[in-house]
Amino acid sequence: MTRTMQAMAGLAITALCLWSAPAVAPAAEGPRAVVEATTDAVLGVLRDGGLTADDKRHRIEDIVYTRVDFDTLSRLVLARNWNTLTEAQRADFVHEFKRHLSLTYGKSVDNYRNERVAILSEREEARGDWTVKTKIVRGGPDDIAVDYRLRQTDGTWRIIDFIIEGVSLVSNYRSQFQEIMAHGGAERLLELLRDKNAKGEPLKS
Amino acid sequence: MTRLVAILCTAVLASACGPPVTRGAGTSFRPDYDPLEPVNRKIFWFNDQVDAYVLEPAARGWNRITPDRVQRSIGNFFVNLRFPIVTVNDLLQAKFREGASDVGRFAVNTTFGIFGFFDPATSWGFEEHVEDFGQTLGWWGVPPGPYLVLPLIGPSNPRDTAGLVADSAAGVTPFFVDRFILLGARVAETINIRSLMLEEIEAAESGSFDHYSFVRNAYLQRRNALVNDSTEAPASNGNDLYYPDLDQE
C-alpha cells in the first residue's frame, strides 16, 4: 500500500500549494511573476503570527480567488461534460467547486511548518500556456515538486492547474467527476458537491 | 549473486521488448484506463477495510507513543535498506551518475547516518532517487498494461507487479535473517509509513468524491511521472487535458 499512500499524500499536499496566489495584479505580470507574487503573499499570511486560523483562511481565499482562473479550471475538470450543462448548472458548478476546494484545502492552514517555496524555472507550452516549476522546500527528500499551469485571459495570467509531483489536480478531479456524471449526470454531481460543502467535511460516495 | 543474475536476465528480456527510445511507453497516457474495474473495485474495498480496521488503528497507536522524529528516523532506516534496489535500477536505466550517487548515499547514511537512521547524505549533495524495477521496465518501453488493484498491496499494473517481484529479490535479505523477522520488519515499515501519513491520507479521503477513481488517477499519473523522471503532467495527455474541446472536432 506504500505506493498508494505516496500518491495520495502527494495530492493531499496540494493544500499548501493551492493556497498559493495575491490580490491585485498589474496587467504586465508574467507567469513567473504571478506565481512568485502568489506564493509570497500566501506564505506571508501563513507566517503572520498575529492572525487566527480563520483570518488566515479568509485572506488566503482572497488571494487564491484572484490568482486562480476558476472558470477555466472548472471547464477543464468537467471536460466534455461541460457542454452538457445548462448555463445555470455551470455557474452552480463553478461556485460549489470553488467552495469545495476552499473547504478541503483550507483545513491545512494549521499544518504550515515553515515551508519555503523555491521557483525553479518556467516554460512556454504548445498553445501559449505557461508552466512554472516550483518546489516546496521542507528539507531534502521531503521537498515537493509543484508545477503551476497558467493561461492568459484578458491580459491577465492566471493559474489553471496545479501539478503536484506529477499529479495534476485537474486530471484527478476529472477522473472522479466523470465517474459520478456517468452514473448520475450533472444533477447528481451538483448534489454531491452541495452536500459535501454543507457538511464542510467528508462524504463517502 | 544468483539473484542479481536473475535480475539482469530479466532486464535483458525486457530490453528485447522495445528500444529505449520509446521511453515511458510512447503510447498516449490514459489516467482512467481500467478494463478490470469491477474486480478492482472489490479488491479496493477489501483493502480499504483492512486499512480502516487494522492498519490505520495500528498506525494511530504507533503515532501516539512515538515522536515524529523517531518515526522519521525509522522511515530513513528502511529507505536506506532500499539501496540495492535503487542502485540496480539506476544502472539498468543507464543512469550511471545517479547510481554512483546512490552508492555514496548509502555509504554516508550507513556510517555517518548511523545504520541509516539519519540522512546526512542529502545535505551533502547525494539526493534521494526513487527507482524500482517497474520504472526500469517502463523506461525500456514496456507498457504498463491495465490498472490492477492487488490485495493488501494496492494500486498496480502488470508491469509494476513484475517489478515488485524483481525488487523483492534485490532487497537486503541476508541469508541468516529469519523470515519471520523479515516479515515483522515489513509490517513495522508499513505501520510506520502509514503513521507518517495519517493527516495526508485523511485529507485525501475527505477531499475526494469517488475515492476509488481518486486513487487510480493519482497512482497512474504518479507512476507515469516517475517512469519519465518528470514532475509534469504527461505531454501526450496535454491536449486532452488542457484543451478538451479540441479533439471533439
Using alpha carbons, select from A47, A60, A50 the residue that is nearest to residue A18.
Answer: A60
C-alpha cell at B100: 554512483
C-alpha cell at A180: 459520478
Count of C-beta atoms within a 10 Å radius of residue A124: 10
**Candidates A75, A175, A178, partner chain B, best to mutate (most B CBs within 10 A):** A175
Quick check: B114 contacting A, CB < 8 Å?
A: no
Statement: residue A4 has pLDDT above 60: no
Element (H or E) spanning A10, and its range? helix A2-12
- A84-112 pLDDT, tens digit each: 999 999 999 999 999 998 888 887 788 88
Statement: residue A195 has pLDDT above 70: yes
What pLDDT is attached to residue B14? 41
Phi and psi at residue B223, to the nearest 5°: -65, -40
Quick check: B193 contacting A, CB < 8 Å?
A: yes
For chain B, positions 61-90, list CB contacts with chain A under 8 A.
Answer: 79
Distance from CA of B29 to the nearest CA of A (A): 12
C-alpha cell at A78: 468537467
**Candidates A4, A97, A203, partner chain B, best to mutate (most B CBs within 10 A):** A4
Measured distance CA(B147)–CA(B159) in Å, rounded: 10
Nearest to A202 among B193, B206, B210 (CB): B206
Distance from CA of B4 to the nearest CA of A (A): 24
Confidence of residue A113 (pLDDT cuts 50, 70, 90): confident
Contact list in B for residue A125 (CB cut-off 8 A) is: 238, 242
Measured distance CA(A5)–CA(B203) in Å, rounded: 12
**What does the mean pLDDT of chain A come to?**
84
Q: DSSP label at B118? A: S
Statement: residue A19 has pLDDT above 50: no
Nearest to B232 among A140, A147, A204 (CB): A147
Quick check: B37 contacting A, CB < 8 Å?
A: no
What pLDDT is attached to residue B21? 40
Q: Are the beta carbons of B128 and A9 separated by less than 8 Å?
A: no
- A32-65 pLDDT, tens digit each: 999 999 999 999 999 988 888 888 999 999 999 9
Cα nearest neighbour of B203 on chain A: A12
Domains by residue range for chain A, with CATH: 3-199 (3.10.450.710)
Question: CA torsion, points B13, B14, B20, B24, in degrees to nearest 10?
Answer: 170
Average pLDDT over residues A172-198: 91
